[in-house]
Amino acid sequence: MKLSIKAAIYEVMKDGNLYTIWDLKELIALRYEVYSMETSISAVMRSFRWDENRARFNLPRDINVEVLVKQNRPNGKGYLYKLITEEK
């Protein structure tokens, strides 16, 4: 079964580890055969903040709780992203 880009990104990120957009691009292609550009991956990650996606993916429903943490990469360009789930 082929997943949507949103579901594929969630499946990779739900473990709570830190990922770059480039990591996600590679992992969703390898694991789920979902191919996407970096800009689309970034947009999908931001959409996890929406209430309907918080409900769909069992993310914290409290709008005051950030579900997508972004931090600078040490020694490099770009950012690291982490998804905060209800389980964590």
Per-residue pLDDT at 88: 46
Kindly state whether residue 28 falls inside one of the protein's structural domains.
Answer: yes
What total number of domains does the chain contain?
1
Kindly state whether residue 76 falls inside one of the protein's structural domains.
Answer: yes
**pLDDT tens sequence across 34-53:** 999 999 999 999 999 999 99
Per-residue pLDDT at 36: 96
CATH number at residue 46: 1.10.10.10
Kindly state whether residue 36 falls inside one of the protein's structural domains.
Answer: yes
Structural domain including 41 reads 5-83
Kindly state whether residue 24 falls inside one of the protein's structural domains.
Answer: yes
Is the pTM higher than 0.75? yes
SS3 per-residue string spanning the chain:
CCCCHHHHHHHHHCCCCCECHHHHHHHHHHHHCCCCCHHHHHHHHHHCCCHHHHHHCCCCCCCCCCCEEEEECCCCCCEEEEECCCCC
Kindly state whether residue 88 falls inside one of the protein's structural domains.
Answer: no
